[in-house]
Structure 1
Amino acid sequence: MTLFLVLAILLPWSIWRQMHAHEVTANGLIKLPTIFAIVGVATLGGADFSGTGTLVYLGASMLLSAALGAWRGASLSIWREGGAWISKGNRLTIGLWVTLIAIKFALGTIASVTGDLPTETVGEVFLFLGLSFAVQNVVVARRTLWSGARQAATA
């Protein structure tokens, strides 16, 4: 129950933060995916990864999380202000988050009602969210912090 409370607070706060202008920093890009990954790994106990259906389902979930993370990272509004990179989410950002959460919720509902899909553990949910944030933040880093290094290398 505590983990659901953490998720109910951490995820909305993370999305809320993205929707407000904030400075892009290496520390900021690393922190959130790391928190989600640590909590995910710490709570994976008892997860059953056996069976082809489970592996296909987990692979599809990873692909979905990564793809929507990349799309969010590419669609965030980014600009320079006083020498710093600034990022801010937009309607598409929130729409992509809603899409990811809705699909995961629907799959979880199908899994528990029909038994046709493996039921995800809380640890897996945290890991998929961490993966989605990590991919998003790599795209943001490429568009911001790493763009200067790329330009310097080609000059």
Structure 2
Amino acid sequence: MQTAFNIIAAALVLLFILNRQLKPRAIREDRPYRQMLILGAIGFYQLGSYDEAASVSTTAWVLLAVSFVVGVAFALVRGTQVHVWREGGVLMRQGNAVTIALWVVSIAVHIGIDVLIGGTGSAAEGLGTTSILAYLAAVLAVQQFVTLRRAEALADRGVTQPMVNA
């Protein structure tokens, strides 16, 4: 039952994220990582609770770490593809088809690795779905970091129009 809840919660969060990625949105420069911290707190709490309830093999944890590393790599690329600009002094960003495609592939990889994790033993089954909120928090934070660094570079050059790969 917990796994079904995790899948539903993760799907709703992912739909929310993808929807927000496609809309022009202001980046709160005063608290750019607030949502990621909230997601991360919930996600890592879930992971800790899962580990206490089940004896998970080292192999399963290594595979989960690989999933996070791959997710971070995709987030680094996504961060370079987001359109960023300033509008009336407000930092704006908007995803596009490339960022959505990268999201879909990264989530598919995470799910694929979850299947591999499930094959390492019954105690590990569901570890990947339990980790999805922590995964989303980590990759969103990395994407936000890259986007903010790009925005700083744009500001130094006085760019105000939407830019990709700047």
CA contact (8 A) 1:42 1:123 kept: no
The match for 2:21 among 18, 21, 28 is 18
Cα offset for 1:91? Answer: 0.8
Aligned to 1:58: 64
Bigger mean CA offset, 2-11 vs 68-77:
2-11
Aligned to 2:83: 77
**What's the TM-score once normalised by structure 2's chain length?**
0.75
Task: Could you tell me which runs of 5 or more consecutive residues in structure 2 were left unpaired when the two chains were aligned.
Answer: 158-166
**What's the TM-score once normalised by structure 1's chain length?**
0.80
In the alignment, the residues of structure 2 paired with residue 83 and residue 149 of structure 1 have an alpha-carbon distance, to the nearest angstrom, of 10
In 2 relative to 1, CA 7–140 (structure 1 residues): closer, same or farther, beyond 3 Å?
same
Aligned to 2:140: 133
The match for 2:74 among 54, 57, 68 is 68
Aligned to 2:50: 46
The alignment of Structure 1 onto Structure 2 pairs a total of residues equal to 147
In the alignment, the residues of structure 2 paired with residue 96 and residue 17 of structure 1 have an alpha-carbon distance, to the nearest angstrom, of 15
Cα offset for 1:6? Answer: 2.6
Aligned to 1:89: 95
CA contact (8 A) 2:113 2:128 kept: no
Cα offset for 1:68? Answer: 0.8
In the alignment, the residues of structure 1 paired with residue 154 and residue 105 of structure 2 have an alpha-carbon distance, to the nearest angstrom, of 33
Percent identical among aligned pairs is 25
CA contact (8 A) 2:63 2:113 kept: no
Q: Which amino acid aligns with 1:125?
A: I
Cα offset for 1:21? Answer: 0.5
In 2 relative to 1, CA 6–56 (structure 1 residues): closer, same or farther, beyond 3 Å?
closer
RMSD: 2.5
In 2 relative to 1, CA 16–100 (structure 1 residues): closer, same or farther, beyond 3 Å?
same
Aligned to 2:150: 143
Task: Could you tell me which runs of 5 or more consecutive residues in structure 1 were left unpaired when the two chains were aligned.
Answer: none
In the alignment, the residues of structure 1 paired with residue 117 and residue 71 of structure 2 have an alpha-carbon distance, to the nearest angstrom, of 18
